[in-house]
Structure 1
Amino acid sequence: MSVPPPAPKIAPWTTYGRLWPWLKPYAPRLMLVLLASLIATGLTLAQPLISKLMIDEALIKRDWDMLLKIAALMVGATVGGFAVNALVSYRYVAISAAMLFDMRVALLRHLQTLSPRFYGSFRLGDLMSRLNSDVSDVQRVVGDTLLSVVSNVLFFVGSVAMMLWLDWKLFLVGTVLVPAAVASFLHFQRRMTDLSRQMRESGADIGSLLVDTIVGMRTVNTLGAEAHEAERFRAANGGFIATMLRMQTVSFMTGALPGTIVTASSAAVMIYGGKQIIDGTMTIGALVAFITYHGRLLGPVQALMGLTAGLATARVALARIFELFDTAPEVVEASAPKALPAVKREIRLENVSMDHGREPVLRNVDIVIPASMMTAILGPSGAGKSTLADLLVRFHDPVAGSITIDGTDLRAVSLADLRARVLLVDQSPFLFNATIAQNIAFARPDATPSEIEAAASAAGLDTLTARLPDGLATRTGERGLSLSAGERHRIAIARALLRKPDVLILDEPTAALDEATEMVVARGLRRALPRATLIVITHKPALAEMADHVIRLDHGQATIAPQVSVHG
């Protein structure tokens, strides 16, 4: 069971500045959207002034012609504002969606650079929460909240200017309590940010627990641990609900207390403005316009306070996303990588040592693997055989020593070239929930049906496909679990054979096969790749007997010492 990562610290607001690399390509179009938003705000701000004219110049003076003109002006401003706002919203959502797609792709590409060790230590449920929920939260903010912030700020500034122009004393009366409303909101917003982080982590805990339980369902059933797992889920869910209820209380207070203060401010405006009308120092139209601006002033204030909560929640999500971006890959491609030509001579390990943060797995290993031959690697569990395979495809780099192909250090070679020339079939291969043919041709859309069939036959799949009604069109199920372990391994071998690598590394390729099928697969490999370098990691001496060379890895209590022997 993986260890949960430490809870991320609350990120500063400057975290949003890290969105700039994805924002920069769209900056010119966003400036046009901002300009259009400014026009829309101006049309909206004009409406209370038009109302003032209607009351003071048309209704009180009983001027019918003026009433019709002002009404037409009101309709024009309303329709124009609606049209421009619709255009702004549409264009902004389109731009933000494109920007967030770029960010998702960048995150996916970054995750592809991380080593298997990262995925072995990071909780799968938490990782999926960051990729799904957190990125979705950021998308909602970028696609909606940020535009609302801009429009509300513009409207707030415009409303303040109009209120000062109408009556600066009344403006002071109407805004004297606003700082108290803002202060109360900010107090509860800080609590909301902390609780939002706690909810996110609690949700990730539940997700990880469910992933563990579902993936390990066979073990749960075997051990009769159903009640134990249900109790673990109840405890995790209880913590989530407790945090959610605290967040609900704080959320209510975040809106209720500032809202009460805002209502008191509105009452003060009506009393003071009404007194001015009675005294004859203000017209009814001016008070109506002022109250309209005041209501619209407090609206953006409340909206901005509410949006701040959304921005705070997204800030937590953004921090969790950037924590993934900040995870440095263990294997880094050279700044000017070399192309890797066809492998013709040998693979050489010189003084190679490797550990995984614990005791050494390989120590001062010196071996030579000749090209175009079959080499078997034998040794007990824990001797470093699979680690050696990972080093050959640069899932990891050795902590000491070097690995070369035809004299070229792997660290100087393009990763794409290396993994096209040198291909690893894991001892627990992964199959996608697709057909057998689609799994064999994964990431090879140019593969023809005949090529797929040939690869399947070379991997010993003829017997399997012959007894399946749909043959190669049969779906493998989630992670290929509708098939046996041996069948999954043969499909993975066929997937490798289709790519015709120069070097094919097979980690326990026949562990789940009977002896007859093992021989079929072994002979099929050599027929399919007659000039390739085959490296077979195996516990089976019978398979090793087919090899041209045998490399034996043994380990003592604290160290690992390789022994190399040659057959044939």
Structure 2
Amino acid sequence: MSGTDETRRKPAEAEDGNTRDSFLRRFWRLARGYYTGPERRSAWMLSAGVIALTLAQIAIQVRFNLWNRDFFNALEARDRAAFFGQMGTFLLLTAASMSVAVFQLYVRQLLQLRWRQWLVFRLQNRWLDGSRHYQMNFLPDIADNPDQRISENTRWATAMAVDMAVGLFQSVVMLISFVGILWTLSGPLMVAFGSNEFEIPGYMVFAALIYAIVGSTLTYLIGRPMVDINIRRNQAESDHRFALIRIRENSEGVALIRGETDEDRGLRRSFGHVVSVMKDLMRTERRLMWLTSAYGMVAGVFPILVASPRYFSGAITLGVLMQIGSAFGEVTRALNWFVDNFPRLADWRSHVERVAALEDSLDTADLLDQESRINVTEGPLEDGREVLAFQNLQIAQADGNILVGEANAVIEAGEKVLIVGESGTGKSTLFRAISGVWPWGSGEVRVPRRDHMMFMPQRPYLPLGSLRGAIAYPAAPRKFSDSAIIAALQRCGLAHLTGRLDEEERWDRILSLGEQQRLAFARLLLHRPRWIFMDEATAALDEANQDAMMGLFQQELSESALISIGHRPGLDLFHDRTLHLVRSPDGAKLTTPRRTGTVGVRRRGAGGANAAARGIARVLRGGRKGRS
């Protein structure tokens, strides 16, 4: 597990190191599509609503500042009527402030939700499109844990972005609004320098500016490591979560082999990375807390202290003094936005980097379409025939190593063909190339229409939800009638499940592997595809059940073409012919002996292979109807 952790940390380190100078550009990439795409009208309307309500909040704050002056002046003058009049004004301002704050919160949260929804759907669609979710598992330096990046990191990347954008906008407008007030109220300050005396107009503004600059500089210097630490924390948390999910998904294997002790060691080691990073974060946060605590305490006294000489000289009233203190507080809060939000900025950046790294990985996967790859052509030939044909097909691994060196063959509709070969010769990968999910290699594959094909892996995929949905997959659960589903289950020896069609369970855990494989055959009976591809799809069945399931291709599914991979004895009896993948130094070769009345490729040296390839090329072009 340690080695796995080290491998999985590399992308995170690359995220930070390779994109540091382009962070804002990468963030804008996550926002641009929302504000310029189909959702742009809603995006701009919600953003305008947030801005308008924020401006209303600031207007109320400005009015509160004026109230502050009038209230303390009434208090100093012992004017009872004015005092209670100001209390009434206070209640009105409070009610207005509460109403605007609540509505602004609603609009802001709606903007966050809509943006996140757009981003999640965008990433999900890109991740699922063209089997990218599968291909990315084989690419180097790809963002790990895409599930967490889509579900969790998008939430914080969008929510924190909106919150901080609103906070920054509010701080800028508050600064503009209160600087003028503070400049007017503070008046000039006479400073003696030797025998010279000069005047500093609006000196409280300069005091606030100096105060904020000192605080921001110290905060940046102390808190700068938090950016890298938060990126490492997110990575460590996702690694630990991945380890937990992996054990849950493989709990039976762990339990049977009694591997709990070793898994516990691995989990402790994984969480140890979390603890280590969290200690670094806590240490930095403690240092920052010393500064922010002192800074906040001094901010309440500093403006009163600086303005007090003018109050004691009688130049300003108590109300003006309190108004100066309030305005100074608003100005410093606006200038201190960076100070107050530095930890959140660091955390937000780590989430944005993780989402942006997933976008980069999807871009890398998209480049597969532009590079040299297996050319898969879908649909019938010019004469209307559907065939499965390989011409000069070469299949490579993602790192470029050749797995299948040469494959030339034509399989006609309705044929039953068994593919055999030693383990590791690329039989399953050949199926992946046929399905279009394995792009690495060269050559051509002609396949039938995709909706005429169905693939059956050794472990069938059973989606979450009802048993009805699992049988009908990938069609909608209600596409097939109850009678059709029940008949299919009974035909496949699953009559005991007919009363549980609408139960929602983890069927991949409740059913044995043998039952799952028979359920996949029941799925065939419902969909009745014209082309069926089986990869060890009967491996968990006993001989009697295997014969019963394979008998479907001689009865109910006799018109369907069957291409299967298998090693079980007796499978060849259900097929018309056999293709062999034979291991060789240059990659496995697909060979077949010529048999009367069958379709095949006869290989007798290079000349035979070239002749076969020429014949297949004619078939792919819709040429003569003879067999290769």
TM-score where L is the length of structure 2:
0.79
Tell me: CA distance 1:262–1:488, structure 2 relative to 1, closer, same or farther (3 Å). Answer: same
Tell me: CA distance 1:258–1:339, structure 2 relative to 1, closer, same or farther (3 Å). Answer: same
Does 1:540 find its partner at 2:558? Answer: no
Q: 1:348 corresponds to which residue?
A: 389
Once the two structures are overlaid, the 10-residue window that deviates more, 31-40 or 209-218, is: 209-218
The alignment's C-alpha RMSD in Å is 3.1
**Cα distance in 1, alignment partners of residues 292 and 184 from structure 2:** 26
Q: 2:204 corresponds to which residue?
A: 170
**Cα distance in 2, alignment partners of residues 322 and 370 from structure 1:** 46
Q: 2:121 corresponds to which residue?
A: 105
Given the alignment, which residue of 408, 420, 435 partners 1:378?
A: 420
**Cα distance in 2, alignment partners of residues 115 and 93 from structure 1:** 30
1:490 Cα deviation from its structure 2 partner: 1.9
Which deviations, in whole Å up to 9, do the C-alpha atoms of 1:376-404 show, x marking residues without a partner? 22222122211111111101125211111
Name the SS for the 2:445 alignment partner.
strand
Does 1:502 find its partner at 2:566? Answer: no
Partners of 2:415 and 2:560 within 8 A in 1: yes
1:430 Cα deviation from its structure 2 partner: 2.4
Which deviations, in whole Å up to 9, do the C-alpha atoms of 1:444-484 show, x marking residues without a partner? 223222332344345x1xx3333x58454566636x13222
1:63 Cα deviation from its structure 2 partner: 5.1
1:272 Cα deviation from its structure 2 partner: 2.4
**Cα distance in 2, alignment partners of residues 307 and 160 from structure 1:** 21
Once the two structures are overlaid, the 10-residue window that deviates more, 72-81 or 274-283, is: 72-81
Given the alignment, which residue of 215, 222, 226 partners 1:188?
A: 222
Partners of 2:181 and 2:327 within 8 A in 1: yes
**Cα distance in 2, alignment partners of residues 469 and 355 from structure 1:** 44
Name the SS for the 1:348 alignment partner.
strand
Partners of 2:112 and 2:159 within 8 A in 1: no
Given the alignment, which residue of 388, 394, 397 partners 2:430?
A: 388
Given the alignment, which residue of 28, 33, 45 partners 1:21?
A: 33
**Cα distance in 2, alignment partners of residues 313 and 98 from structure 1:** 21
Given the alignment, which residue of 443, 451, 454 partners 2:484?
A: 451
**Cα distance in 2, alignment partners of residues 312 and 14 from structure 1:** 17
Q: 1:306 corresponds to which residue?
A: 340
Does 1:464 find its partner at 2:503? Answer: no
**5 Å matches for 1:489-568?**
489-565=517-593, 566=595
Tell me: CA distance 1:36–1:140, structure 2 relative to 1, closer, same or farther (3 Å). Answer: closer
Partners of 1:373 and 1:534 within 8 A in 2: yes
- Contiguous gaps of at least 5 residues in structure 2: 187-201, 598-628
Name the SS for the 2:510 alignment partner.
coil
**Cα distance in 2, alignment partners of residues 288 and 21 from structure 1:** 47
Partners of 2:420 and 2:581 within 8 A in 1: yes
Tell me: CA distance 1:533–1:82, structure 2 relative to 1, closer, same or farther (3 Å). Answer: same
1:341 Cα deviation from its structure 2 partner: 6.5
Tell me: CA distance 1:340–1:90, structure 2 relative to 1, closer, same or farther (3 Å). Answer: farther
Tell me: CA distance 1:284–1:153, structure 2 relative to 1, closer, same or farther (3 Å). Answer: same
Q: 1:413 corresponds to which residue?
A: none
Partners of 1:424 and 1:506 within 8 A in 2: yes
Does 1:329 find its partner at 2:365? Answer: yes
Q: 1:412 corresponds to which residue?
A: none
Does 1:228 find its partner at 2:232? Answer: no
Partners of 1:178 and 1:262 within 8 A in 2: no
Tell me: CA distance 1:46–1:536, structure 2 relative to 1, closer, same or farther (3 Å). Answer: same
Name the SS for the 1:176 alignment partner.
helix
Once the two structures are overlaid, the 10-residue window that deviates more, 188-197 or 497-506, is: 497-506
**Cα distance in 1, alignment partners of residues 9 and 533 from structure 2:** 33
Q: 1:431 corresponds to which residue?
A: 462
**Cα distance in 2, alignment partners of residues 450 and 554 from structure 1:** 46
Partners of 2:457 and 2:534 within 8 A in 1: yes
**5 Å matches for 1:14-163?**
14-18=25-29, 19-24=31-36, 25=40, 26-56=43-73, 58-60=74-76, 66-67=82-83, 69-113=85-129, 114=132, 116-119=134-137, 126-142=145-161, 144-163=163-182
1:358 Cα deviation from its structure 2 partner: 5.2
Name the SS for the 2:63 alignment partner.
helix
- Contiguous gaps of at least 5 residues in structure 1: 407-417
Partners of 1:123 and 1:208 within 8 A in 2: no
Name the SS for the 2:409 alignment partner.
strand
1:215 Cα deviation from its structure 2 partner: 3.5
Name the SS for the 2:574 alignment partner.
coil
What is the aligned residue count?
Answer: 549
Tell me: CA distance 1:428–1:189, structure 2 relative to 1, closer, same or farther (3 Å). Answer: same
